[in-house]
Amino acid sequence: MIRDIQNLSKEMISRIIKQEVIANNLANINTAGFKKDRVFQKELDSAGNRIKEDVNEVTVFQQGALRDTGNPLDLAISGDGFFTIDIDGKQYYTRDGHFYIDSTGFLRLTNSGLVMGENGPIQINGEVEIDKNGRVAVKGEEIDRIKISTFTQPYPLKKHGNTLFEALDNAEELPADNYSVLQGYVEESNVNPVEEMVRMMTTLRYFEADQRVLKTHDELLDKAANQIGRV
């Protein structure tokens, strides 16, 4: 019975973590480039008993819908790859293409770092056009090409905030080739609110069921302890 209580406790903790992940997904429904997370739990078979082990959080990189914004500085990637962002000399990766030009003319991700081209940070002075291959032209003259990076799948990336990703130590950055860049669009979050609400309600029902079972075990242990004490 003690093992059953231990397993129930692990199960309930995993459901709490799952609810937190779902809540974060729902909070970022309107965050451009956001990628939803899922929670999975390992199980080990010990003497015929299923034992709950580590809880793993996995990011789902499925592409979100592409929305026309009409803003020439907004970019979206259709297909594989990530925009490369430099923050204080460190590289990060994102599908969020909501960009702007700062006071010095550099293209930046909103509230974040510099957008990288193949020749370094992109600086724009004038009306800009960006084609499907990511070539950046100012007043008709090509000045650089948006750096679109990718990795072998599953992507060796971990989240850094809501829309940025950091490469793991063993990650090998590769140039993407199966993509198109769309100017005047952004990629929306890939969160499906109906799906997330169903997951939230299901997880809550399972948590409540675990609570009832745990309460039953607690009552049985209490009864057994009192009876033994009287004997």
pLDDT digits (tens, 9 = 90+) for 96-113: 999 999 999 999 999 899
pLDDT at 123: 96
Which range marks the domain in which residue 95 is found? 66-187
Q: Does 71 share its domain with 105?
A: yes
Q: Does 89 share its domain with 178?
A: yes
pLDDT at 13: 80
Distance CA 165, CA 156 (A): 10
Q: Does 181 share its domain with 79?
A: yes
Q: Does 77 share its domain with 156?
A: yes
The answer to which of 36-45, 62-71, 116-125 has the lowest mean pLDDT is 36-45
Q: Does 139 share its domain with 29?
A: no
Distance CA 101, CA 107 (A): 5
Q: Answer whether residue 121 shows pLDDT above 60.
A: yes
Q: Answer whether residue 49 shows pLDDT above 90.
A: no
Which range, 4-8, 93-97, 200-204, has the best average confidence (pLDDT)? 93-97
pLDDT at 14: 81
How many Cα atoms are found within 13 Å in the side-chain-facing hemisphere of 228? 6
pLDDT at 110: 92
Q: Answer whether residue 52 shows pLDDT above 70.
A: no
pLDDT at 141: 95
Q: Does 99 share its domain with 49?
A: no
More confident call, 133 vs 212: 133
Distance CA 108, CA 120 (A): 12
Q: Does 42 share its domain with 118?
A: no
pLDDT at 40: 80
Q: Does 33 share its domain with 136?
A: no
Give the rounded percent of residues in the chain with a pLDDT score beyond 70.
82
Q: Does 70 share its domain with 178?
A: yes
Q: Does 88 share its domain with 164?
A: yes
pLDDT at 9: 66
Question: Which residue reads 């199966």 in tokens?
Answer: 178
Last residue of a domain, one of 169, 187, 205: 187
Q: Answer whether residue 54 shows pLDDT above 70.
A: no
Q: Answer whether residue 125 shows pLDDT above 70.
A: yes
Q: Answer whether residue 69 shows pLDDT above 80.
A: yes
More confident call, 219 vs 128: 128
Say how many domains are in the chain: 2
Q: Does 97 share its domain with 144?
A: yes
Distance CA 170, CA 150 (A): 14
Question: Which pTM does this prediction carry?
Answer: 0.84
Q: Does 128 share its domain with 146?
A: yes
Q: What is the mean pLDDT of residues 105-128?
A: 95
pLDDT at 42: 61
